[in-house]
A and B are shown apart, each in its own frame.
With several copies, the nearest count.
Chain A
Amino acid sequence: GITEAQARAIVNNALKLYSQDKTGLVDFALESGGGSVLSTRCSETYETKTALLSLFGVPLWYFSQSPRVVIQPDIHPGNCWAFRGAQGYLVVRLSMAVHPTAFTLEHIPKALSPTGNITSAPKDFAVYGLESEYQEEGLLLGQFTYDQDGESLQMFHVLKRPERAFQIVELRILSNWGHPEYTCLYRFRVHGEPIK
């Protein structure tokens, strides 16, 4: 059995980690920290023409989430970037050059999905390190699978720490969990060791 003091320590440490972006690790892709989306290659934002913004009764435009939301921390239902189909690309410039060690992919929990499922979540994906924004095939840092029955936040470690450091990474989504029309990306993070 544990004492009250030990229980408090467990709680405090858990809350501390939770408040440290849930991971306690630097996210070099985070937009406010200096990350930016360079391109989505040939992926196409899925335009539903449903969220109409108006002012003084005058319709202005249809709003849809941009790819930037993938490197922003809000993951409430709907705050995702949706691309057409199940294959998509996101090229991100990190806040600094790092030796990537892990990636985090987040999706809303099934419990909060109005449809009760997360078929639009990514499934198989790969991450590449690029030497320049236009490099077509970078260095494969790892291929992983986001588990729709797993935790909302999943971390994937690179098998072998790359010798090179990269400031540009490409997230390549290869399949989703069944949605026929689009795939949603809520948040992608890049963890690693900065170059000395």
Chain B
Amino acid sequence: PRSGDLCCPPTWLTWTPYLVLSYVNGPPP
């Protein structure tokens, strides 16, 4: 199956009921 079916918005994270962690400024110490 192709992963290319971006049938859902790429930013799945937007309405998920979980806390999402993203690293925006390099790795943590």
Closest to A94 in B: B27
Q: Taking CB as reference atom, which chain B residue is nearest A64?
A: B28
The tally of residues in B whose CB lies under 8 Å from a CB in A reads 28
Segment 41-57 of A: residues with Cβ below 8 Å from B: 41-42, 45-46, 48-57
- On whether the beta carbons of B16 and A42 are closer than 8 Å, the reply is no
Q: Are B23 and A87 in contact (CB under 8 A)?
A: no
B3 adjacent to A89 (CB under 8 Å): yes
| Distance in angstroms between the alpha carbons of A57 and B9 in the assembled complex | 13
Which one of A39, A68, A133, A134 lies within 8 Å of B21 (CB-CB)?
A: A68
Q: Are B24 and A120 in contact (CB under 8 A)?
A: no
Distance in angstroms between the alpha carbons of A24 and B3 in the assembled complex: 32
* Contact residues in B for A50 (Cβ distance below 8 Å): 23-28
Number of interface residues of A (CB under 8 A): 50
What is the bound-complex CA distance between A128 and B1, given in angstroms?
13
Highest count of chain B CB atoms <10 Å: which of A41, A45, A95: A41
The verdict on A136 contacting B4 (CB below 8 Å), with A36-B22, A53-B21 known, is yes
- Beta-carbon contact of B28 and A53 below 8 Å: no
Establish whether residues A55 and B3, one from each chain, have CB atoms under 8 Å apart when the complex forms: no
CA distance A120 to B5 in the complex (A): 24
Q: Which of B2, B18, B28 contacts A136 (CB 8 A)?
A: B2
Are B10 and A54 touching (Cβ within 8 A)? no
A-B contact pairs, 14 of them (CB 8 A): A33-B27, A34-B23, A36-B21, A36-B23, A39-B11, A48-B25, A52-B22, A53-B21, A54-B13, A56-B15, A66-B16, A66-B19, A96-B27, A134-B10
Going nearest first, the 3 A-B pairs with the smallest beta carbon separation are: A34-B27, A136-B4, A82-B29
